[in-house]
Structure 1
Amino acid sequence: MTQKRKDILIVGFALFAMFFGAGNLIFPPALGQGAGVQVVPAILGFLLTGVGLPLLGIIAVSKSGGDLESLASKVNSKFGRFLACGVILTLGPLVAIPRTSATTYEMAIAPFFPNFNPIIFSAIYFMFVLIFVLKPSSLIDNIGKVLTPVLLLTMITIIAKGVLQPQGILIDTGINISFSNGFSEGYQTMDAMGATILGGIIIGAIRAKGYTKTKEISEITVRAGMVAAAGLAIIYGGLAYLGATAGDLPMDLSRPELIIQITNNLLGTLGQGLLGVAVGMACLTTSIGLTATAGEFFSKASNGKLGYKAICIATAVVSMGISNMGVDRIITFAEPILLILYPMIIVLVALAFLDKHIKSAAVYKGAVFSTVLISVIDVMGTFILPIPVLTPIVQGLPLSAQGFGWIFPAVLIGMLFYVRDHYTNYTKKKVEYTH
């Protein structure tokens, strides 16, 4: 094996570990159970946003300066900072960090200690988070290196047992929009957000191995991404299949309860305990990393006016409060936020691959702001109150019934500005972000 192939495998496994989050394991089984015989299109939709988009996001930010802020600043610098703040808050105290605590409680504590107070647990959990965040130690990194293989081996064992000895047969659940359900469920992994924030780390790791040419870095990133995607597809696809064959289990089980019940049926109490411990510890390491990321980002964004330690403490306190909503309520709370943020990220990633053909920021502004407008109107109409005149117009757009009403306006308006620039020799340059 050549050195280049070894490096591709190393980076590929690193990408796999980055996206193989314990919190994400609760989504495919529930998706599969809801889809039944439509599990294949459901998991394809999930893989597009849960695996494909994060990998494209890493490539996109590598083309644009190394992080989401640099990519979004092609619209304008204020928008770049605004979107980066929104993503960090979502990955931090609003959704992702609280969900790690809630998932740990529901999968590792409640099944074995049902009377353990969730508020007391969350206080202990975030006390440990702060200990490691405020006084960094190599211990947590070493734990993380051990946990990923343990978690992976546990999941492969569960999936193999469920495939060789299915719990039941695929049933028709009556759902006919399984692909779009999987696509939007993939938003909940939040991996595309994480990729746009952490993409620079992967690119830096490739450069550190001695690769300096842009074309070669892109090639390694793509091929490593294929390695990671293959691994994630096996895990997510397998878990979705287990959910699809678990039609006999109650449909009203929470996501953590469903995967716990499936594991218990296949491997017994010992398997359930191993899964709970591995998931709980993996969630803790994820929470520590995200809390530190939030502290560093907002401290830097405020030019040091907000201290790193103060931000980390505030993040932990807010996360503790939200974590006691429980996993399913946190997911419900996150849905409208993600339905606004994700379409913007998808459009920005798509435009990054067309950037060399774009002459002005107007194309970015037109496509992104139209996406924001349609997404906000759609979310308002779905979760709060319909807006007279505007909501019916948005609901009448192509693909709106499938949740993709923003695509047509983004493409149309982006193309209009592109044609204007091309045929009128519009020369106003894009504003490039600099740190």
Structure 2
Amino acid sequence: MKKNIDILIIGFALFSMFFGAGNLIFPPYIGMTSGTGWLTSFLGFVIADIGIILLSINAVARAGSYQNVAGKAGKKFGLSLEFIMMLCLGPILVVPRTAATTFEMSIAPLFGSFNPIVFSIIFFAITFTLTVRPTKVMDIIGKFLTPILLIALVFLIGKGVISPIGDLKSLSHSDGLFATGLTQGYQTMDALGIGGVAALIMSSFFNKGYVDKKENASLTLKASLVAGCGLILVYGGLTYLGATVSTIYDQSISQTALLINITHSLLGSTGTLLLGIVVAFACLTTAIGLTSVTAKYFEDVSNKKIKYEHIVTLICIFSAVVSNLGVDKIISIAVPILTVLYPVSIVLVLMSYFKNILTKNSTFKGAAYATLIVSILTVLDTLGLNLNFVHSLPFAELGFNWVLPAIIGGILGTFLFKDKVETIDKKVS
């Protein structure tokens, strides 16, 4: 009984860590643009978002650490990849964005004259208070904060299901709906920093007395499945809400405006308040979880020479400053960096499932380097360098133009790089 409760609590906490404000606005827009075909696009979204999350957590749990996955491409390469990812996950991009999003979607609409600097100080003071004790982070999120978030979401979705705003729009063609959902799911980049997230889950189970590595890995997977099921249900409900207004709005409406209009149509001024609560708790739980993940990672990297509490303090102060740049500015900085890092991480995670076939680290190295090169060229193209050939690669329209180069790179790497049989992986006994 205790084990099931622990799985549920940590699963809830994991749900909240992945369910940020960005995840709140994607599904309604997908539903609105899909109409009666919303289930098709929703399936694509689930596969590319939740599917990658679950595969990544399972891969890290089985390997024992993210470095046992990424390190196959070279120890320095793996460490550098994770180091940069954790910087992005923490003080540089993702954590500051949670405060900026909360202010713009929750505070500004309700308290227009509220000072953003004062708000950022309050937001990160709360984050610091609830994060500074690492052994309690998952319990605080899973026992207290996630239930509030879920209750608000269930109320909003339930109202929309019982009393739909409008009718579902029948599409003259349904081609590309699955691909659209797949692309949107991939672009959430929710599996970024999965190594730190998986480590926090495994550490939380360890602190609860589950010290056996095999059992710990099993419980980690079960908790991630709880989180995955929660995400599927909430995403499904939000996608349906979007589909019910497909005859009212067109694709010119912004994702944020669509969500605001839906909540207002369902609940009037109460909807604005409810949306503010949902966004605030979604962002706060994400900020708490990711601050803890990042601080724990850098404490371990420094061999505990820098204390967890001190790192939490630095992250909160730095994030409070960066958050005042605003959501749009932070996103403009984040997208190019994440576009380079995310595909490399996915390639290494997927390849780890075939370790009995791909036995040489040189194969991983070739695939990782090829993916990195294509990702960098893709970003350079978006910045105006006109490298049009990156859009001609297979699956480029889905954002997966790195797939074929990764395969070719893996094959070439096997023969070009001198390597011994894979020895980095530490199996969970």
What TM-score, normalized to structure 1?
0.82
Q: Which residue of the partner structure matches residue 70 of structure 2?
A: 72
The secondary structure found in structure 2 opposite 1:193 is coil
Question: In structure 2, what is the equivalent of residue 119 of structure 1?
Answer: 117
> In the TM superposition, what is the alpha-carbon distance from 1:373 to its structure 2 partner?
0.7
Which shifted more, 131-140 or 294-303?
131-140
- In structure 2, the residue matched to 1:192 is 191
Counterpart check, 1:393 vs 2:392: no
Shift of 1:382: 1.7
CA distance in 1, matches of 2:43, 2:393: 24
What code does the residue aligned with 1:104 have? T
Q: How many Å separate the matches in 2 of 1:305 and 1:429?
A: 34
Deviations along 1:372-396, whole A, 9 cap, x unmatched?
111111111023422xxxx233222
1:245 correspondence with 2:244:
yes
Check 1:281–1:164 CA distance in 2 against 1; reply closer, same or farther (3 A cut). Answer: closer
Shift of the 45–94 alpha-carbon distance from structure 1 to 2, 3 Å rule, reads: farther
**Most deviating of 250-259 and 106-115:** 250-259
Task: Flag the 1:289–1:139 CA change in 2: closer, same or farther, 3 A.
Answer: closer
- Counterpart residue number, 1:82: 80
The answer to whether 1:413 aligns with 2:409 is yes
Please state whether the residue corresponding to 1:295 is helix, strand or coil. Answer: helix
Q: Which runs of 5+ in 2 are unaligned?
A: none
Structure 1 letter corresponding to 2:268: G
State yes or no: 1:45 paired with 2:44.
yes
1:177-196 superposed Cα distances (whole Å, 9 cap, x missing partner): 54444334334544312432
RMSD over aligned Cα atoms: 3.6
1:47 shift after superposition: 1.4
Measure, in 1, the Cα distance between the counterparts of 2:134 and 2:5: 31
SS at match of 1:192: coil
Are 2:398 and 1:402 equivalent residues in the alignment? yes
Structure 1 counterpart of 2:233 = 234
1:310-349 equivalences in 2 (<5 Å): 311-349=311-349
- CA distance in structure 1 between the aligned counterparts of 2:245 and 2:156, rounded to whole angstroms: 13
Higher mean displacement: 373-382 or 306-315: 306-315
Percent identity (aligned)? 41
Q: CA deviation at 1:288?
A: 3.3
Aligned residues: 422
Contact 1:37 1:173 in 2 (8 A): no
In 2 relative to 1, CA 185–328 (structure 1 residues): closer, same or farther, beyond 3 Å? Answer: farther
Looking at structure 1, the residues matched to 176 and 326 of structure 2 have their Cα atoms a distance apart, in angstroms, of 27
Deviation for aligned residue 1:417: 4.8
- 8 Å CA contact 1:375–1:406 kept in 2: the answer is yes
Cα deviation for residue 18 of structure 1 reads 4.4
Separation of aligned partners in 2, 1:158 and 1:370: 45
Tell me, in whole angstroms, the C-alpha distance in 2 between the residues paired with 1:58 and 1:281: 24
The amino acid of 1:404's aligned partner reads F
Aligned to 1:430: 422
CA distance in 2, matches of 1:289, 1:225: 14
Structure 1 residue ranges without an equivalent (≥5): none
Say which is worse superposed, 93-102 or 248-257, in terms of deviation. Answer: 248-257
Superposed displacement of residue 304, structure 1: 5.8
Partner of 1:156 in structure 2?
A: 154
| Contact 2:100–2:323 under 8 Å retained in 1 | yes
Structure-1 residue corresponding to 2:163: 165
Q: Conserved in 1, the CA contact under 8 Å of 2:343 and 2:402?
A: yes
